């Protein structure tokens, strides 16, 4: 950090500053400040006032200071913010309000106050929510296409050209600064720091007498930690960005923070600690911390899911605790919460789900199967919106598709359920569903596959042949993913999430389980044998393979539709489409007459 530059900046910003003021601002002794002032005067950067007490910046001092002028700010806002569910299901974390002001807007306003207007916000999750900032504040948006599966190393990588050759603040959209700590000039690279008393899991900084950071470790006690904004000088970025590029291109770094690269190369870089006073910077770790800071969130969060939970349990929102994001499903989003010492799960329907799921039919299935005790315990199910609150089973685990003992229990559970001969009035009609999803894709301009019409013809062949067999129809789960089989500590197996359920060929559940598990042909054959308890007949093999092909085709259409809505699932679409083609061809090779050659 250039101490002469800091002296010039402080006097430029606060001409009335005394040496004691400067010492407090710079975390230096009055004696040290006096020496720096004398040096600045000798260099012609400062001159004493007419009353011999104050100081003013000379023209040479201003020219010297201008090398440190801040060019702009980069605000990182691409991430999901899983520790703030369910609020972040609807609103990106940086757009949450604290005392009536959105966190990212507060930072933009503070930057504007010191004359910094060249601001870029890097977006990803719910990117459309940030678009209004361009009109309101004149900021620019930069999209990070890898936000869903890579950490902030990818965010900085995609924004690297905005940093190169410039003096730039690097900020997180979800930080809240009580007082404005930004300046028009910054005289060296730094990372903001707060003092944490007692044990901390934050990233602890070690620094020398000059304030240079010499080491970064995760966790410690009674220490200064990384907390809040950072500033990259031109010289710092010149050395640091190649390190970001190298790490980004190295396999295994996908979940790196950009600070991870800084930590690994700290002995090669020059960056100072910027120690901030207590209660200046806030990085809210979860909703509980935000509630403690802003009491509004204790009573009324403006979040539909939390309002629903409070209504169902007849409690204030403040009594909902231990809120955690569960593994996000492909159809819905869910979060875990605690009320009265007991945990529950709230399901929030995903984007576009209202067109895909008939919630009245789902409710009908739960009513029919309730006496079996097979499904999860439902406390609340809204047949209009699809919101669901269910009991959480402590100590339970999902089935493991690679564990054949687990899969034997899952198949036994399915077979016993199919044998109950329970019925509902609606069917899961694969032909109707394919037609429906296809129409949704076309209506939303979804991008279909190059050979789609050929493969669609193949699927028509399979469905026609299936219809000719007049197979039995039983109440089936359909969404027989291993994640929907719960193994309880007492050995009980639960089968949860029945929203796709309807009357269907029971082997549809086997085919769906196979493709959800990404099984090979040998795995699928073994799964069928586990279900049947014997070697399959030719027709049973054909039907299972046909269900795998048709299921893959159906879910690939489903994924294309979701993609048109802005929801991506990586290579899932390709994998499902490949199942459709592979198992159609497999059926043709069986030479059993089920498909006419």
Using one digit for the tens of pLDDT, what is the confidence trace for 239-293? Answer: 999 999 999 999 999 999 999 999 999 999 999 999 999 999 998 888 888 888 8
Radius of gyration, CA atoms only, the chain: 30
pLDDT at residue number 595: 62
Long-range (24+ apart) CB contacts under 8 A made by 303-307 are: 303/86, 303/87, 303/90, 304/90, 304/387, 305/86, 305/89, 305/335, 305/346, 305/348, 305/387, 306/86, 306/87
| 6 HSE (CA, 13 A, CB side) | 19
Q: Give the mean pLDDT of 541-547.
A: 96
Confidence check: pLDDT of 592 > 70:
no
In the structure encoding, which two tokens stand for residue 74, read together? 């980069």
pLDDT at residue number 54: 76
C-alpha dist (Å) from residue 398 to 145, 195, 259, 327, 482: 31, 41, 34, 12, 7
Confidence check: pLDDT of 304 > 70:
yes
CA pair distance 224, 213, nearest whole angstrom: 11
Q: Write the Ramachandran bin of 59: left for phi over 0, alpha for psi from -120 to 50, otherwise beta.
A: alpha
Cα 227 → chain centroid: 21
Sign, CA dihedral 458-463-468-469, equals: positive
Q: Are 112 and 64 in contact (CB under 8 A)?
A: no
Q: Which residue has the higher pLDDT, 502 or 445?
A: 502
Q: Which stretch of 80-84, 316-320, 542-546 has the lowest confidence by average pLDDT?
A: 80-84
Closest CA to 119 of 142, 100, 149: 142
Beta-bridge mates of residue 397:
487
Sign, CA dihedral 43-48-49-55, equals: positive
Beta-bridge mates of residue 46:
57
Q: How confident is the model at residue 445 (pLDDT cuts 50, 70, 90)?
A: confident
Predicted TM-score (pTM) of the model is: 0.80
In the structure encoding, which two tokens stand for residue 391, read together? 């009991």
Cα 553 → chain centroid: 28
Cis peptide before 129 (omega within 30 of 0): no
Q: How confident is the model at residue 156 (pLDDT cuts 50, 70, 90)?
A: very high
pLDDT digits (tens, 9 = 90+) for 339-349: 999 999 999 88
pLDDT at residue number 50: 60
CA pair distance 99, 293, nearest whole angstrom: 9
Q: Which stretch of 112-121, 234-243, 446-455, 487-496 has the lowest confidence by average pLDDT?
A: 446-455
Q: Are 352 and 562 in contact (CB under 8 A)?
A: yes
Q: Give the mean pLDDT of 426-447.
A: 89
Q: Which stretch of 276-285, 353-362, 521-530 has the lowest confidence by average pLDDT?
A: 353-362
Confidence check: pLDDT of 351 > 80:
no
Question: According to DSSP H, which parts of 357-479 are helical?
Answer: 359-369, 404-419, 430-443, 452-469
Beta-bridge mates of residue 47:
56
Cite the beta strand spans of 29-118 per DSSP E: 46-48, 55-57, 72-77, 97-98, 101-102
Closest CA to 287 of 262, 323, 258, 261: 323
pLDDT digits (tens, 9 = 90+) for 119-133: 999 999 889 999 999
Cis peptide before 463 (omega within 30 of 0): no
Closest CA to 244 of 158, 341, 168, 181: 158
Query: What's the N-to-C CA distance of the chain in angstroms?
Result: 78
Q: How confident is the model at residue 301 (pLDDT cuts 50, 70, 90)?
A: confident
Q: Which stretch of 47-51, 73-77, 206-210 has the lowest confidence by average pLDDT?
A: 47-51
In the structure encoding, which two tokens stand for residue 432, read together? 């109707």
Confidence check: pLDDT of 6 > 60:
yes
Closest CA to 154 of 189, 125, 115, 128: 125
């Amino acid at each position: 950090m250039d101490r002469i530059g800091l002296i010039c900046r402080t006097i430029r910003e606060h001409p009335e500053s005394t040496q004691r003021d400067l010492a407090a601002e710079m975390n230096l002794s009055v004696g040290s400040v006096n020496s720096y002032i004398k040096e600045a005067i000798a260099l012609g950067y400062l001159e004493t006032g007419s009353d011999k007490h104050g100081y003013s910046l000379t023209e040479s001092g201003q020219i010297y200071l201008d090398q440190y002028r801040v060019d702009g700010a980069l605000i990182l806002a691409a991430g999901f913010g899983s520790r703030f569910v369910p609020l972040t299901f609807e609103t990106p974390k940086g757009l949450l309000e604290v005392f009536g002001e959105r966190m990212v807007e507060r930072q933009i306003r503070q930057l504007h106050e010191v004359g910094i207007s060249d601001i870029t916000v890097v977006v990803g999750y719910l990117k459309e929510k940030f678009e209004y900032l361009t009109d309101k504040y004149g900021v620019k948006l930069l999209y990070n296409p890898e936000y869903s599966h890579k950490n902030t190393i990818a965010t900085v990588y995609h924004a690297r050209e905005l940093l190169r050759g410039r003096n730039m603040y690097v900020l997180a959209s979800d930080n809240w600064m009580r007082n404005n700590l930004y300046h028009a000039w910054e005289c060296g690279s730094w990372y903001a720091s707060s003092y944490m008393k007692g044990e901390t899991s934050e990233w602890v900084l070690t620094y020398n007498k000059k304030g240079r950071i010499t080491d970064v470790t995760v966790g410690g006690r009674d220490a200064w930690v990384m907390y809040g904004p950072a500033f990259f000088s031109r010289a710092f970025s010149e050395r640091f960005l190649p390190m970001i590029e190298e790490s980004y291109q190295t396999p295994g770094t996908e979940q790196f923070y950009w600070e991870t690269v800084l930590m690994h190369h700290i002995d090669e870089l020059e960056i100072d600690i910027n120690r901030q006073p207590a209660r200046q910077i806030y990085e809210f770790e979860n909703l509980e911390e935000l509630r403690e800071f802003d009491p509004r969130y204790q009573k009324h969060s403006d979040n539909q899911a939390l309002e629903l939970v409070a209504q169902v349990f007849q409690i204030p929102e403040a009594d909902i605790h231990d809120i955690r994001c569960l593994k996000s499903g492909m159809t819905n989003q869910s979060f875990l919460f605690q009320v009265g010492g007991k945990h529950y799960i709230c399901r929030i329907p995903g984007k576009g789900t209202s067109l895909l799921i008939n919630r009245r039919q789902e409710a009908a299935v739960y009513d029919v199967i309730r006496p079996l005790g097979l499904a999860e315990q439902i406390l609340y199910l809204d047949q209009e919106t699809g919101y669901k609150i269910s009991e959480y089973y402590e100590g339970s685990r999902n089935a493991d598709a690679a564990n054949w003992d687990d899969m034997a229990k899952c198949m036994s559970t399915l077979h016993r359920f199919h044998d109950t001969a329970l019925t509902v009035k609606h069917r899961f009609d694969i032909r109707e569903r394919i037609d429906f999803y296809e129409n949704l894709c076309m209506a939303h301009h979804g991008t279909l596959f190059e050979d789609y019409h050929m493969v669609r013809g193949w699927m028509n062949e399979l469905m026609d042949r299936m219809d000719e067999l007049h197979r039995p129809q039983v109440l089936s789960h359909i969404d027989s993913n291993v994640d929907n089989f719960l193994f309880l500590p007492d050995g009980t197996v639960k089968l949860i999430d029945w929203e796709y359920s309807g009357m269907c060929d029971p082997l549809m559940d086997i085919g769906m389980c196979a493709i959800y598990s990404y099984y090979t042909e040998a795995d699928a054959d073994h799964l069928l044998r586990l279900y049947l308890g014997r070697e399959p007949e030719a027709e049973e093999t054909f039907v299972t393979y046909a269900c795998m092909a048709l299921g893959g085709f159906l879910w690939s259409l489903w994924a294309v539709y979701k993609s048109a809505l802005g929801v991506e699932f990586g290579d899932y679409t390709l994998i499902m489409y490949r199942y459709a083609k592979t198992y159609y061809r497999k059926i043709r090779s069986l030479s059993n007459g089920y498909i006419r050659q």
